[in-house]
Structure 1
Amino acid sequence: MPKPKIGDIWRYPYLWKREALDGEEAGRKLRPTALAAIVPVSQKSTRLYLLPITGTEPFADQNALKIPATEIRRAGLSEYKRLWVIMDEYNRDELETSFYFEPHAEIGSFSKAFVQVMAGRFAEAIRARKTQEVKRTE
């Protein structure tokens, strides 16, 4: 399995917060997600923080980052015309024991410059407590 890196795009059964609150345990479909953070917890445990990528225009009050056309192509998402990374929720999973993170589902990756913007916005949302976590490790 390729070692995941921040800024990589993976197909993942993302579980939206609203679905989790309704009692659902699995995402309804595979969707592109961006790895926003990777945190080694121990030698046997690595936490993954995944942000959903969507083609649905976000609401005005949503924290979302529009993906430029060059980044869409670079990330291997050319089938989509417009995309956003949603910042106000994320899935947290564990690489080594995940039932959802597939080892060969990598699509592509964003540029270093875009990753810095995305990671900065995500860190800011975490600090301001303006993002919600959906744990996928249980």
Structure 2
Amino acid sequence: MVHIVISEIECRRGGLRFPSWLVLDEYNRVELDEAYDFSTTTPSGAFSPAFVRKIAILIKQAATQRRLRAVVRK
């Protein structure tokens, strides 16, 4: 599993509870008619640009190594 631990400061920035982590080698796959509705589209926070770059690099590496996979959520 490709993952990254989210530091305490990034959790605060992103509006998450500490400890948290992101799984970076899988993504959700849902049918449009089964997609979830959100109660709001207002962001609860944002990660720093440096952390987002780190996430992007890891996802790109996983894609290059063909480690990304779709996960069907019901």
Residue equivalent to 2:13: 74
Q: Which has the higher contact order (CA 8 A, sep 6+)?
A: 2
Please state how far the C-alpha of 1:91 moved relative to its aligned partner.
Answer: 1.6
Residue 100 of structure 1 aligns with which residue? Answer: 36
1:85 paired residue among 9, 22, 47: 22
Q: CA deviation at 1:89?
A: 1.0
Residues in 1 aligned to 2:3 and 2:14: alpha-carbon distance in whole angstroms: 18
More helix by share: 2
How large is the RMSD of aligned CA atoms in angstroms? Answer: 2.5
Q: TM-score scaled by structure 2?
A: 0.75
In the TM superposition, 1:1-138 aligns within 5 A as: 62-77=1-16, 80-92=17-29, 99-100=35-36, 102=38, 104-105=40-41, 106-134=43-71
Q: Percent identity?
A: 35
- 1:88-114 C-alpha deviation (Å, 9 max, x unpaired): 2112569x9772252615422211110
- Is the partner of 2:44 in helix, strand or coil? strand
Aligned equivalents of 1:87, 1:134: Cα separation in 2: 12
Gaps of at least 5 residues in structure 1 are: 1-61
Q: As a proportion of its length, which structure holds more strand? A: 1
Deviations 1:110-136 (A, max 9, x none): 111100000110111112111211367
Unaligned runs of 5+ in 2: none
